[in-house]
Amino acid sequence: MQVTTTINETKELIKKWKKDGKSIGLVPTMGFLHEGHASLIQKCREENDIVVVSDFVNPTQFGPNEDLEAYPRDFERDSQLCERIGADLIFCPSPEEMYHDPHAFVSIDLLSETLCGKTRPIHFKGVCTVVSKLFNIVTPDRAYFGQKDAQQLAIIRKMVLDLNFDIEIIGCPIIREEDGLAKSSRNTYLNTQERSAALCLSRAVRTGQQIIQTGMDAEQVLAAMRAVIEAEPLAKIDYISMVDALTMQPVERVDRNVLVAMAVYIGKTRLIDNFSYEVSL
Ligand SMILES: Nc1ncnc2c1ncn2[C@@H]1O[C@H](COP(=O)(O)OP(=O)(O)OP(=O)(O)O)[C@@H](O)[C@H]1O
Ligand SMILES: CC(C)(CO)[C@@H](O)C(=O)[O-]
Ligand code: BAL
């Protein structure tokens, strides 16, 4: 497995692989890898000749009062996990390598304004910008993203469509701990009490999945889920919403494919979870 830190050496390697007719898969990550990331890298390994993992805590997707400095990092452990799965390259640039000032930005506005975009107004602009850069540097045939960040996945799909990237976007299912908590690098922020309180998110997801039916009032589903979270004293709801699966705009009835998504603070840690529901007409 090779490790690159500069855009030029990465492009050179890619050029060589492309000349040899190899297909290329990319898994963009912010590092501190866990089984969620591993499942994406594994799927990428199965479907491509060359597996590239990017490991970059992207400063432009963090707001001024967010956890950019505190975000966990462990490159040694990340590279061992990538090597074990059989990745060919980890690209881990510095912020200075990726950005200069002033810098162009990519923004997919409407879809970025709901759900997480309300609390994190610049977040998806940063995500779209860094993912566009990674797409142009690595020029993958396929790129892999987790359903855990469902709004991000929908925005990337729209970006690829609108900006004519010739890349297949593969969405991968949410990987959970045995007790249901969605795996996340931010779970490391939780103390013992908060870790058990955090189970209210997956509990609310299960409640929503059990009661949702085609034609139902969105509010009925959301109220039942809200009640689960509100029963947990350490939890504070940022949002729980039902949106159109493609446009990320709120819906009042379950009359099309929807995403039911939430962000909840457990103490100071903001966690997300969601499920999708396809209508049967
Ligand atoms: N539990 C999971 N199951 C499936 N995919 C996941 C999971 N966690 C993260 N991913 C995916 O891995 C990719 C990289 O995510 P990222 O590095 O931000 O990790 P993370 O654990 O989501 O971190 P955090 O939640 O703290 O932002 C994204 O496409 C994300 O959706
Ligand atoms: C896609 C991504 C790697 C862009 O920084 C990040 O948002 C993430 O880890 O989900
Ligand atoms: N997985 C999304 C990265 C972030 O929260 O910034």
Question: What are the CA-CA distances from residue 241 to residues 27, 151, 213 (Å)?
Answer: 28, 12, 16
pTM above 0.90, yes or no: yes
Q: Kind of pairing, strands 89-91 and 2-4?
A: parallel
**Predicted ipTM of the assembly:** 0.97
pLDDT digit string, tens, across residues 28-38? 999 999 999 99
Please report the pLDDT score of residue 223 as a whole number: 98
pLDDT digit string, tens, across residues 172-188? 999 999 999 999 999 99
Reported as type and span, the H/E element at residue 210 is: helix 199-211
Span 2-172 CATH architecture: 3-Layer(aba) Sandwich (3.40)
Is 2 among the annotated ligand-binding positions? no
- Lowest mean per-residue pLDDT among 136-140, 213-217, 277-281: 277-281
Structural domain boundaries of the chain?
2-172, 185-276
Ligand nearest to the CA of 131: 2
Is 159 among the annotated ligand-binding positions? no
pLDDT digit string, tens, across residues 216-235? 999 999 999 999 999 999 99
> How far is residue 274 CA from its own chain's centroid?
12
| Mean pLDDT, residues 207-213 taken together | 98
Q: Is 123 a catalytic residue?
A: no
pLDDT digit string, tens, across residues 117-144? 999 999 999 999 999 999 999 999 999 9
Mean pLDDT of the chain: 98
Give 174 Cα–ligand 3 centroid separation in angstroms. Answer: 14
CA distance 78 to 92: 11
Ligand nearest to the CA of 119: 3
Please report the pLDDT score of residue 275 as a whole number: 98
Please, are residues 156 and 131 in contact by the beta-carbon 8 Å criterion?
A: yes
Which of the four pLDDT bands, split at 50, 70 and 90, describes residue 166?
very high
Class of domain 185-276: alpha beta
User: Which position among 37, 100, 103, 123 bears the catalytic label?
Assistant: 37
Query: Which residue has its alpha carbon closest to ligand 2 atom 10?
Result: 29
Please report the pLDDT score of residue 281 as a whole number: 76
List the end-to-end C-alpha distance of the chain, in Å, as a whole number: 48
Is 103 among the annotated ligand-binding positions? no
Q: Which ligand 1 atom is nearest residue 144's CA?
A: 29
CA distance 56 to 99: 12
Give 30 Cα–ligand 3 centroid separation in angstroms. Answer: 8
Please, are residues 132 and 58 in contact by the beta-carbon 8 Å criterion?
A: no
CA distance 265 to 186: 11
Give 9 Cα–ligand 1 centroid separation in angstroms. Answer: 26
φ and ψ at 227, to 5 degrees?
Answer: -60, -35
146 lines ligand 2 (CB under 6 A): no
CA distance 78 to 57: 13
Q: What is the dihedral of CA 194, 195, 200, 201, to 10 degrees?
A: 110
| Mean pLDDT, residues 207-215 taken together | 97
Which of the four pLDDT bands, split at 50, 70 and 90, describes residue 111?
very high
Please report the pLDDT score of residue 4 as a whole number: 98
Please report the pLDDT score of residue 154 as a whole number: 98
Which of the four pLDDT bands, split at 50, 70 and 90, describes residue 280?
confident
pLDDT digit string, tens, across residues 240-249? 999 999 999 9
